[in-house]
Structure 1
Amino acid sequence: MNPQIVIFGANGFLGRYFARHYQGQGREVVCVARHREGWSGDGMFLEWDGRTMGPWALALEGAERVINLAGRSVNCRYDARNRRQIMESRVDSTRVIGKAIAACKVPPKLWMNSSTATFYRHAEDRPQDEWEGEPGEGFSVDVARAWEEAFFAAAVPGATRKVALRTGMVLAYEDGTVFEVLRHLTRRGLGGRMGKGDQRVSWIHMEDFIAAIEFIAAEPWRDGVYNLTAPEHPTNRELMQTFREQQGAPFGLPATRWMLEIGAQVMKTETELVTKSRWADPRRLREEGFRWRWPKLETALADLEARHGLEGFFYQPDHRSAGVRVWTPGKKAAAGSR
């Protein structure tokens, strides 16, 4: 018997990588999303509306792990309509998953639910950890609090362990993601500081993100809230300098607040995504013995440069085939592969 891994929001950025990872391990993967667009093709696909019960709920019966990544992208203008959709897509999906788990005869062993490192207030002198960190203010924080409240308030059986994942920026060389956008700007001479440049950046390499999920899942006593970030927290100025060094860019024009506002309107996004300070300390991971493979930004960027897209990320050379590259799911790419 191979209990299934159920991934909600499986057609999104993180969901695709998780589905490919677990498929590569030979696990039974069930991918749940509103539509097939963006789905990696791994596992079995089930459709839902993110609000109401449906046939998808049967997949939770006896599941080993449920990972909820569902939620409308925050890469948009924060008008009233988008704010409502961002909030409802996270809260409604979390609530209905909780109801489905409560109705299971054999409930899942583990329910992991996305949250965000944006939860914390900005402190000039220290990062915010899971034990002593304080919530901040603003729309993004309101979303995070409502999201987690819906998660922890869900009345599921005691056999189902709950973990909320306060995640920083996950870096992988995927088109349209933070890594690709900053790389693109840097190569065009626009890789200078953004705004004041002193805002902190909480980030994590995709490989460490997946490894941290496995680490948390491995012990039944690990529950509650975890910060999923790298142990290093560069400022935006330091982040962009590292990108310039990685891309061999001799200079990078800085972007003032008003320039960012104009650019955000053109790109239909919000300046908050780059100007807000996110300084989350992964204290629990560190104290419980997790070891990052990519703790330093410069080595993380260098590694990702050679792993473009989902296929590139999971490529592994087959030394038995006289140097011909083949795809081996679930394993790290060799340096230089594309």
Structure 2
Amino acid sequence: MSQVLITGGTGFIGRNLIPLLQAKGYKVTVLTRSADKYKAYPVLKEVRLVESLQDVNDIDVVVNLAGANLAAKRWSDSYKETIVNSRLNTTENLLEWIKQQEHKPHTLINGSAIGFYGARGNEELDESSTSGNGSEFQVRLCTRWEDAAYRAENLGLRVCCIRTGVVLGHEGALQQMLPPFKFGLGGKLGSGNQYFSWIHISDHVRAVMYLIKHSELQGAFNLTAPEPVTNYGLTKTLGKVLGRPTFATVPEFALKLLVGELAKMLLTGQRVYPKKLMESGFTFEYPTLNEALQDLLN
């Protein structure tokens, strides 16, 4: 039975990935800072929870999802440092642990984000596109995180960096959007012309599983649905699925006051396509936003 180690396994994506791994016959170990806290979670009952890498060995695949939530707080200097350290320190620790292993993993699936491309407006982006402007925090973050992960190739591992878009599910971004829409107060951000690159949680974890199983695949992969939409399109589709009006607009200045530096990404957007995944043969269960929202909300 193949052994998978997940960092960040107690988070939204990790808890959706674990049942899929188990259904495919993988044995799962999760590295967490608080094993006792998560023992009661039903999805983690058949999972080995450890608080130190020194308690882990004989792993075949590492899935590194660890990292502080980008949207949890305003991007103060101190929180930016927390965001960076939570990703880079975990990755560095994994590299040191791998060096010490007699039985080394053969694959590292490492987290990243479409923030790698920066705020690029309506430019069509795929894995061949360059990284964004180095003055943007999210560009520097993703570039450093991926660079660290690729050092595992020198240790003999196959590395896939998953550049994730906005993941829609029963937690996270969608749940934060819903309250104003349910009260008929939902609306576009700024002009609404900026693109929104998203993925259904089911397709996200299926894509991770796909990358684990297909040993010929390596490098960066965009984990986004094949049909990005504008913010206006998102607003109208969400309103339609909920049966609520969407006449409101959040002015740019108000969004900047609310979320600070993150507003640039939200107002400029990214139009990202999963070219490598689709060319390799992966198929999406929820390729359109309407299909995804109908599944999640109805």
- TM-superposed deviation, 1:122: 4.0
Matches within 5 A, 1:256-271: 256-264=251-259, 270-271=262-263
Distance 1:6 1:232 in 2: 32
Q: Report what 1:331 is aligned to.
A: none
Q: Which amino acid aligns with 1:223?
A: Q
Structure scoring higher RCO (CA < 8 A, sep ≥ 6) equals 2
Residues 102 and 155 of structure 1 are in contact (CA less than 8 Å); yes or no, is this contact kept in structure 2? no
Q: Which residue of 280, 288, 296 maps to 1:296? A: 288
The residue number in structure 2 matching 1:149 is 147
> Structure 1 residue 118 and structure 2 residue 115: aligned?
yes
1:32 aligns with 2:27: no
TM-score (norm 1): 0.80
Local SS of the residue matching 1:170: strand
Offset, 1:29 = 0.9
How far residue 189 of structure 1 moved from its aligned partner, in angstroms, is 2.2
Kept in 1, the 8 Å contact 2:122–2:270? The answer is no
CA apart distance, 1:18? 1.3
> Do the aligned partners of residues 79 and 263 (structure 1) sit closer, same or farther apart at CA in structure 2, a change above 3 Å counting?
closer
Deviations 1:15-63 (A, max 9, x none): 1111232234443110112224466424011114xxxxx424x23x2x2
Q: In structure 2, what is the equivalent of residue 95 of structure 1?
A: 92
Question: Would you say 1:188 and 2:183 are equivalent positions?
Answer: yes
Q: Could you tell me how far apart the structure 2 residues matched to 1:134 and 1:93 are?
A: 23
TM-superposed deviation, 1:155:
6.0
Instruction: Assess if the C-alpha contact under 8 Å between 1:8 and 1:32 holds in 2.
Output: yes
**Contact 1:7/1:32 (CA < 8 Å) preserved in 2?**
yes
Query: How far apart are residue 248 of structure 1 and its match?
Result: 0.4
- As a proportion of its length, which structure holds more helix? 2
Query: Matched residues in 2 for 1:285 and 1:11: separation?
Result: 26
When normalised by structure 2's length, the TM-score is: 0.90
Match runs of 1:298-337 below 5 Å: 298-306=290-298
Out of 192, 199, 202, the position equivalent to 2:197 is 202
1:67 alignment partner, SS class:
strand
Q: What's the counterpart of residue 247 of structure 1?
A: 242
Match of 1:321 in 2: none
Task: Say which SS state the counterpart of residue 193 (structure 1) adopts.
Answer: strand
SS in 2 for 1:55: helix
Helix, strand or coil at the partner of 2:159: strand
Instruction: Report sequence identity in percent.
Output: 28
> Deviations for 1:239-264, whole angstroms, at most 9, x for unmatched residues?
11111001100233110012223443
Deviations, residues 278-331 of structure 1 (Å, cap 9, x unaligned): 22221101211111110000011000114xxxxxxxxxxxxxxxxxxxxxxxxx
Q: Distance in 2 between matches of 1:124 and 1:253?
A: 22
Contact 1:119/1:136 (CA < 8 Å) preserved in 2?
A: no
Structure 1 segment 70-109 matched on structure 2, within 5 A: 70-75=66-71, 76-109=73-106
Preserved CA contact (<8 Å) 1:102 1:157:
yes
Candidates 138, 141, 158, aligned match of 1:140: 138
Runs of 5+ unmatched residues, structure 2:
none
CA distance in 2, matches of 1:181, 1:245: 18
Structure 1 pair 10–205 and aligned structure 2 pair: CA distance change class (3 A) = same
Pick one of 62, 67, 90 that aligns with 1:66: 62
Query: Partner letter of residue 15 of structure 2?
Result: R
1:41 has 2:44 as partner: yes
